[in-house]
Amino acid sequence: MQVWSRKTTMSRRIKRTTSPGDRAKGRDKSRDRDRAGDRGKERGTSGSAQRSRKPDDRKSGERKSGDRPFAHRTPGKPPRFAEPRRDRQERMEPAAGKQAAEQPLPTKVQTVVVTSDENGMRVDRFLEARFPGLSFSHIQRIVRKGELRVNGKRADSKDRLEEGQSVRIPPLRLDTPKTSGTLSEAEAKTLQALKDMTLYEDDDVLVLNKPVGLAVQGGSGMTRHVDQMLEVMRDAKGQKPRLVHRIDRETSGCLLIAKTRFAASFLTGAFRHRSARKIYWALVAGVPKPKQGRISTYLAKEESEEDSIMRIAEHGDEGASHAVTYYAVVEASATKLAWVSLKPVTGRTHQLRAHMAHIDHAIVGDPKYFNKENWQLPGGLQNRLHLLARRIVIPHPRGGVIDVSAPLPPHMLQSWNLLGLEADRFDPIENAPEE
């Protein structure tokens, strides 16, 4: 465990500037174009090339009065909760950069090659991008049965593809797209539930405040989860919003959703390249010393008949992945409990829970990793996981920044009130390094 300095700032802004030499070159090119046009007129040319330049053509860096870049995005309820405007979405989509072409639905086995744009994409995201409308359960089923193969081998839905690989795709079946005005009573309730969870929404992005106990994705015996709830938001083309990341079932807080294929590709890349910043709040047993530090270990999954957990592993162990977490004590309640802010640099399964247990300050109410013997929960506190995905900061696909914070869930708010912790205190994790 290492100590980090407060002097290191958490984010850096880069301002684009144009040098005097670049501006001089631009003026020289402009004069050359004007002279060339004058020579063309003297030679009696038709002038079609000059007419092809529209009156409103702009030099690089200029902006029409109607153009508005995305502003800094702040949390708060959106003014509406509806399907994205089709005209605006279709107008902006071509400018998003090269996208993988949508493939016709295969009625028989076919083999496709991974393009450069799809390099590094997860198998399940690859299928969703190629064949919009495929349900999560259908994708998981064909992967689980081994019907989808990469370079002739079975693949997991989380495996990442490489440019040039051959992907064998079995016959697929799209879910029937929803049409407006045909929601059942149950679906209308689900849509309202999503609306109530919404912290931020625009045409590309949705940020939900996931409640405690609601799973993000389905599992054995799971009938209700966020991915299934998003089915009610399918558009006329059969596309539904896509999960960009995941948080544990018993963890509440910010969950990022992409409403378009372009946004999904951009935001997934931002997580992969660690452009996203996530901050968590937790209540832990004892007070960590030093009060600010860096936890760096290897984690590997340990399976048992009853459950599976992430254990601290050694470099080189089978399945071991490097995991880094910064922590900072925000406020302590005597020596019994501490409110800790956490910033994961990597995104391993149960990383924060395993790391805090590793330094002997397990998160209160954690059924998997709380391992302190003869430790009594203070009176009035609920024995539930005290972990909140407090804040997410990530570049927006169209420009600007998404910066959204989630409130304390009811059981954590009760604990904060009982312990006299002030939720509006300065969060020292702001000063943690980026790596």
Instruction: Please tell me the CATH code under which domain 185-270 is placed.
Output: 3.30.2350.10
Question: What would be the CATH architecture of the domain defined by 277-431?
Answer: 2-Layer Sandwich (3.30)
CATH number for 102-169: choose from 1.10.10.10, 2.70.98.90, 3.90.226.10, 3.10.290.10. Answer: 3.10.290.10
Catalytic: which of 202, 204, 227, 248? 248
Task: Please answer whether residues 432 and 343 qualify as being in contact, where contact means their C-beta atoms are separated by less than 8 angstroms.
Answer: yes
Is the bond preceding 290 in cis, omega lying within 30 degrees of 0? yes
For position 107, what pLDDT does the model report?
67
Domains of the chain, residue spans: 102-169, 185-270, 277-431
**Catalytic site includes residue 203:** no
Task: Please answer whether residues 288 and 425 qualify as being in contact, where contact means their C-beta atoms are separated by less than 8 angstroms.
Answer: no
For position 371, what pLDDT does the model report?
86
DSSP 244-280: -----TT-EEEEEEESSHHHHHHHHHHHHTT--EEEE
For position 106, what pLDDT does the model report?
63
For position 276, what pLDDT does the model report?
92
pTM: 0.65
Residues of the chain with pLDDT under 70: 1, 5-107, 132-133, 174-181, 220-221
For position 125, what pLDDT does the model report?
82
DSSP 43-87: TT---HHHHTS-TT---TT---TT--PPPPB--S--S---PPPHH
For position 120, what pLDDT does the model report?
85
Judge if 102-169 and 277-431 fold alike in CATH terms.
Answer: no
For position 158, what pLDDT does the model report?
84
